Amino acid sequence: MEARPPIEVYDELDSTNLEARRRAEAGAEGPVWICALRQSAGKGRRGRPWSSEVGNLAATLLFVTDKRPIEAAQASFVAALAAHELAETCLGPGAARLKWPNDLLVHGRKAVGILVESGARPDGRLWMAVGIGVNLKHAPENVERPATAFADHMAGPPPAPADALEVLARAFERWRQLWDREGFPPIGRAWTERALGMGARCEARLTHETLSGVAEGLEPDGALRLRLDDGQVRRITAGDVFF
């Protein structure tokens, strides 16, 4: 079996990403997975709250990298591939698809969210906090995009968070090692094979504008290549995309 970093499981934390940040800013390097059975202040992308009910998985990998910030952000694709492996282990092939930039959908509904944060260290390297939230048992209600849980698509009970994290952590380590050895190209190809909407029309909601066009694929650094209706090509590096 693949080696993986140590895992620490806590009954409750405010946020696994916040705990990773605190440790990193105190000088910790990891690598270590920090898992909370419950989060009192879970957070998602762009400052959104993240529901963290008991029975779901909330975990963050803290580690240090020599990669430049633009490359380090590709860790979200590594996390997405690991989450896809977990979904297929639980639900079978074909149930899950990846959506740019960092969501996993099960039968068209969001089941996994990924939040990558980083910061500079005094030695010039970056600390990375890769947070992954998986709706194993419960799906949030009254959210912007329809959500689902693994349990909604399983005949038996979903895995316990600790068991799910074991699968996720080993998958993440395997993809991370490939990323370190060969860079982003094999990660980008694997992600695209599992992706939703490449070649289809979409709407990209950015901070100050909304764009419509065709999602042509990933750029070499992981940005989304969007061809607008007037033929222009835009690189989308952050935002929400709807197909």
Nearest to 160 by CA among 94, 95, 86: 86
Name the strand (E) or helix (H) holding 40: none
pLDDT bin (cut points 50, 70, 90) of residue 64 is very high
Query: pTM for this one?
Result: 0.93
Are 155 and 178 in the same domain?
yes
pLDDT at 145: 78
Task: Indicate if 205 and 185 belong to the same structural domain.
Answer: no
216 part of a folded domain: yes
Tell me, yes or no, whether 225 and 180 share the same domain.
Answer: no
Burial grade of 187 (CB within 10 A; 0-12, 13-18, 19 or more): buried
Q: What is the pLDDT of residue 102?
A: 85
Res. 42 pLDDT band, cuts 50 70 90: confident
Q: Say if residue 47's pLDDT is above 70.
A: no
Same domain, 169 and 216: no
**pLDDT tens track for 75-88:** 999 999 999 999 99
**Token digits of residue 43:** 């957070």
Residue 2, in any domain of the structure: no
Quick one: 141 and 220 in the same domain? Answer: no
User: Are both 94 and 151 inside the same structural domain?
Assistant: yes
Return the biggest CA–CA distance within the chain: 53
Q: Is 89 part of a structural domain of the chain?
A: yes
> What would the pLDDT profile of 144-201 be if each residue is shown by its tens digit?
778 999 999 999 999 999 999 999 999 999 999 999 999 999 999 999 999 998 999 9
Domain CATH code at residue 231: 2.30.30.100
Verify that 90 and 138 share a domain, yes or no. yes
The separation between CA 54 and the C-alpha centre of its own chain, rounded to angstroms, equals 20
Domain membership of residue 110 (yes or no) is yes
Tell whether the model's pLDDT for residue 43 goes beyond 80.
no
The answer to whether residue 27 sits within a structural domain is yes
Query: Taking the CA atoms of the chain, what radius of gyration do you get in angstroms?
Result: 17
* Residues 74, 151 within the same domain: yes
Same domain, 152 and 220: no
Domain encompassing residue 238: 201-242
177 and 212, same domain (yes or no): no
Confirm whether 1 is domain-assigned: no
The number of folded domains in the chain is: 2
Same domain, yes or no, for 79 and 11? yes
- The CATH number that applies at residue 21 is 3.30.930.10
- Judgement on whether residues 39 and 119 belong to the same structural domain of the protein: yes
- Return the bridge partners of 38, or none: none
Examine the fold and report which residue of 154, 175, 193 is the final residue of a domain before the chain moves on.
193
Cα of 120 vs its chain's centroid, Å? 21
